[in-house]
Structure 1
Amino acid sequence: MVTSEQPKQKTEKELKKEAEKAAKLAKFEEKQRKLQEKAAAAAAKPKEGGIMVKRKVTVLKLAGLVVKRLYDLSDVSAGLPNVYDPGYVESEWYAWWEKEGFFKPEYMQKNTKTPNPKGNFTICIPPPNVTGTLHVGHALATTVEDTLTRWNRMKGKTTLFNPGCDHAGIATQVVVEKKLQRERGLSRHDLGRDRFIDEVWKWKNEKGGVIYDQLRKMGASVDWDRACFMMDPKMIRAVTEAFVRMHERGTIYRSNRLVNWSCALRSAISDIEEMKQMIVALQVDKKELSGRTLLPVPGYDEKVEFGILTSFAYKIKGGDDEVVVSTTRVETMLGDTAIAVHPEDPRYQHLIGKVCVHPFVDRELPIVPDSFVDREFGTGAVKITPAHDHNDYEVGIRHNLPFITCINDDGLIAAGCGKFSGMRRFDARKAVTEALKELNLYRGAEDNAMVVPVCSRSKDIIEPLLKAQWYVRCDEMARKAMAAVESGELKLIPDYHVATWNRWLQGSRDWCISRQLWWGHRIPAYFITVNDGKTPVGDPCDDHYWVSAHSEEIAIQKAAKKFNVDPKFITVKWDEDVLDTWFSSGMWPFAIMGWPENTSDMELYFPSNVLETGHDILFFWVARMVFMSQELTGKLPFKEVYLHAMIRDAHGRKMSKSLGNVIDPLDVIRGVTLEDLNRQLTTGNLDAKELAIAQAGQARDYPKVQNFVHLLFYACSSTSNVEGIPECGTDALRFALLAYTSQGRDINLDVLRVQGYRFFCNKIWQAVRFTLMQLGSEYRPEPFKLTGKESKVDLWILSRAAHAVNRCNAGMDAYNFTQAVCLNRKAPTVSLQELRLSGVTQTLYEFWLYDLCDIYLEAVKPVIASGTEESRECAKATLYNCVEVGLRLISPIMPFLSEELWQHLPHRESRPPSIIVHSYPEASEFRFTNEKIEAEVAFAMTVIRTVRSLRSDYELTNKTKTDLFVSVSSEEDHDCLTSLIPLIETLASSNKVEILLLQDAATANVPPARFLKGIINIERELAKLAAKKEKNEALVAKLVEQESRPDYETKVPLPVRVNNTEKVSKRLRFRLHTGSQSTKLPLFQKDALLIEVRSIEAAMAALSS
């Protein structure tokens, strides 16, 4: 028999809740219908003048409804939508700002020949690589840079925020090579240099615009007319001129030395770049192995074994003796040219001067004494391969040994290595080992802890090879750079980075700037051949046979002059290598201004005021810019360097595609589903195992979150849950990133915290909507000044705004964007000095959320609704002034939200067209600080919080109002609270408030207890106390039982026993407390609260300077 299950009958409470929800949604829908009608009417109405940019039809989706924005940017007659929506707010302001030229330095200074008395501010964007899109680390940098730029622009300075992109030599070439191989099955060598470069330019032109679009979306107020790409003609000219000058001075020279070589890229990697991975650990590029480990190597199907110390013997010529050596790279024995032993090692004294016979090639190896040998490591005898090891290179120089290359550029064993020639290097590793075994020279292998250097781009194992390269002498430039920081001429912020700066520069080695790539700035050096029949043919390793020039024609003329021959006898060959990317990047601050020409931009905007970047490239880029600028211009490139922290995920892990935790700022701004996040991973290069791990990480990090609009309108349903990253908007992301910036080394970014700042944006939105409603459509603000009729609460919010103005300016000036001190708003015990240490974001958050929304807006409602005409006008003027100033304060950080809301405010006749070119509030114009009134309101808030706590204890809603009696101990306290009764009544949900001195309380026959008869359920409160008591008794019994055990004193540590004793004492005190409460409950007689509060003196002392 089949039975149908009857639907569950809903309770009366559930039905009531559903009815309330339906009523609220219906009310909201009606408001939206009226808003659409109003917007349509405004759109149909002809405009007179105004800004010519029309807004596109922008759709705002709210709880399933649609609101269309049809009016132009100057028309705000349609009013504000009920709910903040970032897609709506951020849709078109940027295009208007750009069209109006607000971002150009000329906007603030029409005549650039006349100095701006307020000064200039210049900052250059650290040029992101053109290889891809911006990540959240770029978003942090852009936010800091743009916030500083907007703040200085609002302060009236001539500002230039210069954008651009880096060509990213290795990174771009690798990307395009992979694309060609994947799509067309071609390598760059199949195309040839010129055709391959054409392909790179095509790719750059296709992809380069994405980064600029992202910068626009982030709100970067850059001068796009000055946007610069590192391979633009003016940059090529500047880089060429720099190389020529430095080569002619001898600062750049050519030398044949060991370099770190990537066989996959067939290019050198500078020593400092290899050290970068070791010191900064941006990627796992220095593999630390504890022993035998298999690692993947590009081009090899099977993993290669590392972490093994192989021992083998060399036979002494003319006898039966042998010398056993150990190595982690046995294949390099094909290039051995000597054996080294310590000169004081008695085991080998008799062998010094003798020679060993190489088993595979016709070569004798002398046994040489050298004190670099560690007698305790291995056998105490070391094979010397000068052409493939940095230490061996120095030994080879000291003992005049031959330098024999046994591994080619492409990782194959070189000619002259017998049967191993042509083998891949790690195949030869196995073959050499087997051959040694066949000759009975193999002596075994053991695990060996070691570090394996890995190329950060190709993931290839770095191979030391002997190459002729171009180098920059760095010792003198490093000395000048250290002196600049030591003298204070150049400031590093935070200053603890000075130690890192000095540590790097004190050990600075000459900088290898040659790269065997095709994409990049081709080195403007020419190898000279003199065909006069007299001059010997030059060695490409010899710097004497090279000249540098802007063209081949000039090179020929310089070569002829150098060798004192007729130009007709000269032929030159242009070096095929390109410059290290850091070389051209090091010229960025002055090359983009037009150097080497003496341009007006060089005169006006160089040096820049500050460089903002991550501390991970302090040496690799910051130091190089200082080097190049001092060398070529005689000036520092900037006055200050602000180094922001590194962004990690919410768990403190480094962001990595293989972990699935890399955050695209556009995903945070627009929102993205978990499905789309997973899909993004599949487009990468992760293998199946890595992909599964990454997708699991995304599912864990981005669980279901409720849709923002549904949360606001209580219309939550199962369909309103979204897996992924919620839409947060640009302003919320910018504010969150700055709030995270603590001048530290790491930022653990939690996307849900960014969503919290979107809610903060909505709070600001609602505050301005409330303000507009209270002011009314006819309100026209006058220049603000105190009338003497303001209430204490009016004066208090003006004082809080004055503090916010002071702290925001001080924070911006000190790069203090976040909280610098522990600030407890609930306890008025923070000194003014500590208050001023609070950073910009903390200050703005507190002012808008706590001071303005939580206190002042609530306090002003009854005044505007039913106060006197005089009090209403004062309240309106104060409200308008604080909101308008608050929007200007937050504008550098939240440009879109502040512009939208500011445009809706009523304005005085003379006003700027945009808030972004308005003046930033200054302390000189906002002198309303009143510490006495701040202390009094803080005292009143103590009362209000106490009342709210009591009401919460007894589960009273705001609709349930009670009378309130406040007992104080002094006349001063009595007068203070009496003057703030309206504030207390409003915020404490009270019908009537009486402030009583202690003696008044006694004469009024009011018992020292809380009286709420008829308001609370006494039986329920007694039951709650009984439950607390029962739980407490159980805990006491458990602790007493533990203490009564026979071995308690001997087995339980003393700290634990002391802690248990304290717990028992605390629980016994709680027993007395709950007992006394239960005896007082039957005394409830009146619908009132009576509380005692402490003196105002403590609050006054805390807020006095």
Structure 2
Amino acid sequence: MTKELAKGYEPHDVEKRWYAEWEGKGYFHAADTSDKKPYSIVIPPPNVTGALHMGHALNNTLQDILCRWKRMQGYNVLWMPGTDHAGIATQNVVERQLAAQGKDRHDLGREAFIERVWQWKAESGGQIIGQLKRLGASCDWERERFTMDEGLSKAVRTVFVKLYEEGLIYRDNRLINWCPRCHTALSDIEVEHEDHKGHLWHIRYPVAGQPGAYVVVATTRPETMLGDTAVAVHPEDERYQALIGTTVILPLVNREIPVVADEYVDREFGTGVVKITPAHDFNDFEVGLRHGLDKINVFDESGIINAAGRQYEGMDRFEARKRIVAELEQAGLLEKIDDHPMSVGGCYRCKTVVEPYLSLQWYVKVGPLAEQALAAVKDGRTRIVPKQWENTYYDWMENIRDWCISRQIWWGHRIPAWFCDHCDGVTVAMETPTKCSKCGSDEIRQETDVLDTWFSSALWPFSTMGWPDKTDLLKTFYPTSCLVTGFDILFFWVARMMMMGLHFMDEVPFRDVYIHALVRDAQGQKMSKSKGNVIDPLTVIDQYGTDAFRFTLAAFAAQGRDIKLAEERIAGYRNFCNKVWNAARFTLMNLEGFDPDSVTFEELSFSPGDKWILHRLNETARVLDETLTSYRYNESAMALYQFTWSEFCDWYLELSKQDLYNGTPERKRTAQYVLWHTLEHLLRLLHPFMPFITEEIWQALPGTKSVPTIMQAPYPVPLETRNFPEAAAEMERVMAVINGIRNIRGEMEVPPSKEIAVILSCTGEDSLRLLEHNQGAIKALARVSDLTTGVGLDKPEDASIQVAGDVQIFVPLKGLVNVEEEEKRLLKEIGKIEKEIEMFSKKLSNPSFVDRAPADVVAKEREKLAEVTGKKQVLEESLVKIRSLR
């Protein structure tokens, strides 16, 4: 007995019920060891402070599709979940809570503050995990990790100590990104750049010993001139050859500084002379090292001018800028000010303008590590998809700089280094030491800095599996199979995982890296709260259901192309869910009394329509295997959509009605089997993309199930026994004839309920036999009452004509339509269209609109004009046909 489905699909109860079932029964859990082939993915750990956004939704949907697909293929699948402690972000959340109480972290002290952060994590952190579950993510939640849990902390300390002992971690006074508000170093990815309208100040630097002579230096940051220790020119710039080796006077400070020659200088920028401030510019720092220049830091940690800034001491950096510019002008040393667009870096948490800042920090010497990571991609041990990102990876790795890993905050992995106040020695150890390893003094204190968040996440592929212990999990699942991530962290995370994995595991961390694009709004703009164009995944899920949302993301995930997402797209795929549901209801209603267990494929005699749908199902399985293997998600989704909607629903369900309602018992039984078989296989093909609706329908299908959930049912593969290329090709010819008749009906606006007479003229006996054999399908699907077939038949005088291959289709129109009424209707429609054409033409011939309106708006208006012009042409052709019937 078949189960009934509700009249309409209501996703929310279904999603909640099935997710609880899947998770409760442990269907997502991977075995530590198994005879099955392993497949593993580690989740890019979202920040513990995070909430689900479109980037997460896309990233995790694509991962889930792979994991569900591989489980169905019989793999032992580990999808390792977890969250990142997100040092600065999490500390800021708790600091804001304290600020609301009129306190700061220093009022609590370090230990109490960290306790407070752990308390916040326990109560409020990790909400994103619940949101990922709503997305249908089939992670192995029993293994969920956190970058500061006990096991990962042990891994972090082990790596730090080993790298230090190998001479790959060191401490140095270098330039870093510094947030004057958060009072910490930042990684490059934690600096968000925005374009601003800036200025280029042209300042005169007097040449020492040459009264009245000066060079003009162009700068975007006059306040840093207080720390200038040279000016530089290009060694081949003929204008300044005589100045190289001389000195100039630093304005307002009156300090002599040398003129140096360096190829870093761009002769075309500004005047071709640049100021060199090694303590406040990354490029200048490198120039300073090459020429042995002093590094004068003129800011304190809050961006306030320090004593090195002399008369400007105590002033904020931007306040000092205004005063310096004013005094340069008063002294006649400001030649001009140009407008100059510039990219300004801000702290990703507090938006404060970041300062290049000279500071004593811990570094990883990445050169030796990068060499291995570079070679691993070049020799194919790790494949980057799409391939175009390989060049970006190569460029970064070939020009890599040492990695600053220390952060001046409290929340994070505290650096396992202790300083000796007696001998200035440094002790780095796994366990807390009681005395200095150099002199034996017990006057030691631990480093207050913590490690960059990326340091612990760089170990994620193996630390989450129990390393440094040699666990079965690590042995089974490392290296992981695939990493799915955004291009924005290709260097900051992916490259560092490559370096750490190769160094500590002697093996790449993943075989494939799939790089997905951004989700943008419908106009292609990046989503941001300030623009008001953010689409909230949870709101969309509430409105349209998870399956529709997931399928939309997959359908638009073309390699190398950003996704332009509009809500109407998701609404369209909700309609697709409804189409699947209604097809299932039709199938189940027609399976009453049918037992698939009592039927074998071999005993049945299939009609051309049966063979066609089975062949197309087989081809769809082949396409899915090929496209998912190569991460062409959009092609997978489109193949499923095309087969489901256009072939199964629009064609086969209609074809089957003849046998279901009017066929012999044998034909009915065959049609029932093909319906059941096709729907059951289709649900399995769809499951990785649309997990909830497919489980709900699959459970309602008749027949014995060898597994309790569709998640464990085998993923369909193409079978030679389901290949019917010749029968399918013949059926396509018949369908072309049916489409031709439907086109004539549509053009003449013949009501769907009205049956018509049709004449089919074939060019040969082969086509005639094919049409005669399938005349039942033609008559049923094209609503034909009287069908005449023959070879070389003449066209009736009053007939409309279409051609389908070697078949001419004639539909006599006399008596079929009311010529007078149809002529009136067509003329009325043409009149309306002409007004629209006039409106669009007038708009597009107006220069003030074409020149001033945004390009995409003008393009849309042109599209509308082309559309209505084409519509008018179709109407006029129909009018000619109608008038010919008079």
When normalised by structure 1's length, the TM-score is 0.71
Query: For residue 269 of structure 1, what is the aligned residue in structure 2?
Result: 186
Match of residue 764, structure 1, among 580, 596, 602 = 580
Larger mean CA deviation between 80-89 and 601-610 belongs to: 80-89
Query: For residue 721 of structure 2, what is the aligned residue in structure 1?
Result: 927
Shift of 1:955: 2.3
- Map 1:88-103 onto structure 2 (within 5 A): 88-103=13-28
Note if 1:936 corresponds to 2:730: yes
- Map 1:863-874 onto structure 2 (within 5 A): 863-874=659-670
- Map 1:217-366 onto structure 2 (within 5 A): 217-270=134-187, 272-273=188-189, 285-287=193-195, 289=196, 293=197, 306-313=198-205, 316=208, 325-340=217-232, 349=242, 352-353=245-246, 356=249, 359-360=252-253, 364-366=255-257
Query: For residue 482 of structure 1, what is the aligned residue in structure 2?
Result: 374
- Map 1:772-791 onto structure 2 (within 5 A): 772-776=588-592, 779-782=595-598, 784-791=600-607
Mapped partners of 1:224, 1:972: distance in 2: 61
Shift of 1:316: 4.1
- Partner SS for 2:350: coil
Larger mean CA deviation between 196-205 and 319-328 belongs to: 319-328
Mapped partners of 1:376, 1:1077: distance in 2: 70
Mapped partners of 1:585, 1:1067: distance in 2: 58
Note the alpha carbon deviations across 1:807-860, whole angstroms, 9 max, x for none: 222222221222xxxxxxxxxxxxxxxxxxxx2211211222121111111121
Change in 2 beyond 3 A, CA 1:1029/1:377: closer
1:310 and 1:330 in contact (8 A); partners too: no
Change in 2 beyond 3 A, CA 1:477/1:954: same
Change in 2 beyond 3 A, CA 1:220/1:379: closer
1:1009 and 1:1080 in contact (8 A); partners too: no
2:50 and 2:126 in contact (8 A); partners too: no
Query: For residue 104 of structure 1, what is the aligned residue in structure 2?
Result: 29
**Which runs of 5 or more structure 2 residues have no equivalent in the other structure?**
802-808, 838-869
Note the alpha carbon deviations across 1:429-450, whole angstroms, 9 max, x for none: 2333444556665555444454
Report sequence identity in percent: 41
Query: For residue 686 of structure 2, what is the aligned residue in structure 1?
Result: 890
- For residue 140 of structure 2, what is the amino acid of its counterpart? D
Shift of 1:570: 4.7
- Partner SS for 1:996: strand
- Partner SS for 2:499: helix
- For residue 411 of structure 1, what is the amino acid of its counterpart? G
Shift of 1:80: 1.4
Query: For residue 179 of structure 1, what is the aligned residue in structure 2?
Result: 97
Shift of 1:382: 4.7
Query: For residue 363 of structure 2, what is the aligned residue in structure 1?
Result: 471
Note the alpha carbon deviations across 1:74-131, whole angstroms, 9 max, x for none: xx9873111111123213111111111111123xxxxx55532xx1111111111112
Query: For residue 544 of structure 2, what is the aligned residue in structure 1?
Result: 728
- Map 1:637-786 onto structure 2 (within 5 A): 637-670=509-542, 727-776=543-592, 779-782=595-598, 784-786=600-602
Note the alpha carbon deviations across 1:528-582, whole angstroms, 9 max, x for none: 34x4xxxxx54xxxxxx4332123217x4xx53xx3x4x3x25332111121221
- Partner SS for 1:776: coil
Mapped partners of 1:489, 1:315: distance in 2: 58
Change in 2 beyond 3 A, CA 1:170/1:783: farther
- Map 1:534-933 onto structure 2 (within 5 A): 537-538=423-424, 545-553=425-433, 556=435, 559-560=436-437, 563=438, 565=439, 567=440, 569-670=441-542, 727-776=543-592, 779-782=595-598, 784-818=600-634, 839-908=635-704, 911-924=706-719, 927-933=721-727
Change in 2 beyond 3 A, CA 1:842/1:433: closer
Mapped partners of 2:210, 2:836: distance in 1: 89
Match of residue 370, structure 1, among 261, 267, 271 = 261
- For residue 89 of structure 2, what is the amino acid of its counterpart? A
Q: Could you say which structure has the larger radius of gyration?
A: 1
- For residue 982 of structure 1, what is the amino acid of its counterpart? G
Mapped partners of 2:694, 2:833: distance in 1: 52
Query: For residue 822 of structure 2, what is the aligned residue in structure 1?
Result: 1021
Mapped partners of 2:827, 2:297: distance in 1: 88
- For residue 367 of structure 1, what is the amino acid of its counterpart? P
Mapped partners of 1:95, 1:932: distance in 2: 46
Mapped partners of 1:345, 1:816: distance in 2: 55
Mapped partners of 2:873, 2:561: distance in 1: 46
- For residue 885 of structure 2, what is the amino acid of its counterpart? L
1:316 and 1:357 in contact (8 A); partners too: no
2:175 and 2:357 in contact (8 A); partners too: yes
Change in 2 beyond 3 A, CA 1:872/1:462: same
Change in 2 beyond 3 A, CA 1:1023/1:395: closer
- Partner SS for 2:430: coil
Change in 2 beyond 3 A, CA 1:502/1:377: closer
Note the alpha carbon deviations across 1:1020-1064, whole angstroms, 9 max, x for none: 23445777999999999xxxxxxxxxxxxxxxxxxxxxxxxxxxx
Change in 2 beyond 3 A, CA 1:528/1:936: same
- For residue 350 of structure 2, what is the amino acid of its counterpart? S
Mapped partners of 1:1032, 1:421: distance in 2: 74
Query: For residue 833 of structure 1, what is the aligned residue in structure 2?
Result: none
- For residue 701 of structure 2, what is the amino acid of its counterpart? L
Shift of 1:1000: 8.9
Change in 2 beyond 3 A, CA 1:477/1:966: same
Query: For residue 148 of structure 1, what is the aligned residue in structure 2?
Result: 66
1:261 and 1:465 in contact (8 A); partners too: yes
Change in 2 beyond 3 A, CA 1:656/1:848: same
Query: For residue 206 of structure 1, what is the aligned residue in structure 2?
Result: 123
Change in 2 beyond 3 A, CA 1:520/1:929: same
- For residue 525 of structure 1, what is the amino acid of its counterpart? A
- Partner SS for 1:781: helix
Query: For residue 528 of structure 1, what is the aligned residue in structure 2?
Result: 420
Query: For residue 985 of structure 1, what is the aligned residue in structure 2?
Result: 779
- For residue 806 of structure 1, what is the amino acid of its counterpart? R
Change in 2 beyond 3 A, CA 1:1035/1:1015: same
1:314 and 1:359 in contact (8 A); partners too: no
1:309 and 1:448 in contact (8 A); partners too: no
- Partner SS for 1:769: helix
Change in 2 beyond 3 A, CA 1:175/1:1026: closer
- Partner SS for 1:198: helix
Note if 1:947 corresponds to 2:741: yes
Query: For residue 29 of structure 1, what is the aligned residue in structure 2?
Result: none
1:802 and 1:927 in contact (8 A); partners too: no
More RCO (CA 8 Å, sep 6+) = 2
Mapped partners of 1:387, 1:160: distance in 2: 48
Change in 2 beyond 3 A, CA 1:78/1:209: farther
1:268 and 1:515 in contact (8 A); partners too: yes
**Which runs of 5 or more structure 1 residues have no equivalent in the other structure?**
1-75, 107-111, 278-282, 294-305, 532-536, 539-544, 671-726, 819-838, 1037-1065, 1083-1105
Mapped partners of 2:463, 2:614: distance in 1: 47
Change in 2 beyond 3 A, CA 1:587/1:130: same
Note the alpha carbon deviations across 1:427-476, whole angstroms, 9 max, x for none: 22233344455666555544445443333333222222211212222222
- Partner SS for 1:311: strand
Change in 2 beyond 3 A, CA 1:931/1:259: same
1:808 and 1:843 in contact (8 A); partners too: yes
Larger mean CA deviation between 734-743 and 347-356 belongs to: 347-356
Note the alpha carbon deviations across 1:201-228, whole angstroms, 9 max, x for none: 2322233242111111111111111001
Shift of 1:349: 3.9
Shift of 1:741: 0.7
- Map 1:63-78 onto structure 2 (within 5 A): none
Note the alpha carbon deviations across 1:242-282, whole angstroms, 9 max, x for none: 11111111122222111122212211223x437xx7xxxxx
2:384 and 2:515 in contact (8 A); partners too: yes
Mapped partners of 1:386, 1:759: distance in 2: 61
